[in-house]
Structure 1
């Protein structure tokens, strides 16, 4: 646009009358440069200010004294806001449950059982959960539980010794669940301190599963594609960053339904069943990157036999039509959700969590001290060839504060 806008306006002059070319048409010449200098316009437009002015105008009750009405209304608002932060057992804007409430924090120790998620809605017609789906979903749970990675590594080494390399992954997937259950039973019989009921219930496997059409998790609402396609909004698009052997490949898909695996003692795991689009960059006609925009081909899928992920792995995105690539291609648009912030969590096992602020303060003071020490370094004199240097001793330096007030501190 920056290179072509001048020619475009010149061609417009051959078609439209002079009254068409107002200041709004001329501003297009400067918009590309402004976008390059200042970035997206939504970070600097005046809509928030205009909305605030609208709220202030609504508080005017006496048109003869609008400023007094605005001040009185603003004082009342500030007073109510201040009081609302300290009221107990009264619903205010500060303690009201969020719209996408996932049910609060859970107390389970295993990460797969501790998901804060709340499924809802009846599944779509024809949706079922077979025994094979149960095994596939349970294997994904086992393979993504951080607490049993040591068991997975031990069993993998065992499979490497007993089977050829091309059969290791298949044999581990077939034999690990039963081997893991036997290992946990041995820990239980020997009264090992590493044994706990959650570990046993995970090894025992899911008893049954329930299907839902949507889920609240991490303050975000997800809907299955069958239900989402009937709405104007879009809540079924899913993105999962690459992990394991696919660290450089991100996964994009659409949520089809939500499965809740029920284990013994009312333990549960929320799973997302998705239709994954082929996003392997090494395959032609899978993904395209044009001017920093990523497009995926929704007509090509993969991982049809392994469609499940843990609900807390999913990030919601939006798919937009790609008119340049044609039908079947969607542009991936990532977004930030309202009141959802990506704040890194501190390790609760770290004993120095309470001293994080002190450590940062000490680090800041050390950096300031380094800066002060650097100011004491005397720079080498600048020598000009052919001109003799003159050294002028400085006894003291006086700084004129002008009209600034002076305060005498009593010692």
Structure 2
């Protein structure tokens, strides 16, 4: 709560009482104290145990004095303490999943939260009431999911298959019968938040609920980028207060724990400390885990006919053309083209798996037997469209000069708008592999690409979409 303080002074939400905490918000964001002010506040602080008791008026809320403040330069640091994005993201995902799925012990929309709304005289339509049988009930909120909506949401998480090493097997954490999810690792929450949850949310709840949550997922994805530009951070800094205020209009006050509130400060820390992957806890926890593992040891027209003849006869024509050249012409043509005119050797090697720049690719038939997905590829053309495909064959051919080439043969989706590809209202790419191109019907068809031309992608099936796959 209280995120309206970061809005522009003339924003209409500052004067909106009913949809927020019942009062106008005329104040600005808090100022960050400088080092001298912090040292003054810490002067005489005695380390004490954590307590839930309220502090007397005027007393500074310091529980202990960190030993880091003994360093002579520490008070002059611009970023004295780092907010760990890894744990922040994990707690935010826990709050969202627990509340949307109404999981016992994890939801922030419980009886106590509804009673708080009554005490605060907010959102009367959500206040609890007593039924005829004496049982206390409370009305469904805008974010309350039906059993089918929960099942559809979790089905996307359960069926999502990602490349090897991308994340752990999230499907093992999903319990479809109970409509719950649990046992997620921190990196699982990272992948769910930034990649899978926005897809799963589509078409479940109303747009007023889904859009702010998708925007929040996009915010975390942006601040976790490898490269951060100042203009992008300025945009995010203006965007996050609006996202948080939209969430305030949706969820009860108990949803906004301290770990949810610190989201408002993440952009500032990116400006001071740089990209988050230099500052979060993933490498530290990974090193710790590695040390623990070490210690524990473990029909056609004439034009079409012409195209077909050209396609079928080009190689033999090119070979006979080179054979007729004299020595000087062959030298001018180049040794590699002369050798390649002979064509590749008759023997070729076919693989089921291939690693390119450290990225594992697998053919579609192998992928269908796996829990992970490594057959998704895309090719981005310069100033042109992006082609999406599925890898079906990996073939290595060898020419007579022993030059080897690996070819990826793929099923390519028709990227013609509204036929095999389109963007939905949330900006997601929808790909339909029932409409394919480059199947060999025309001379221009070419289902093969070189491994260094592709990037790996994965596709997530959405049960709410009858045809197609969601990227």
TM-score (norm. length: structure 1) = 0.42
TM-score (norm. length: structure 2) = 0.37
Structure number with bigger Rg: 1
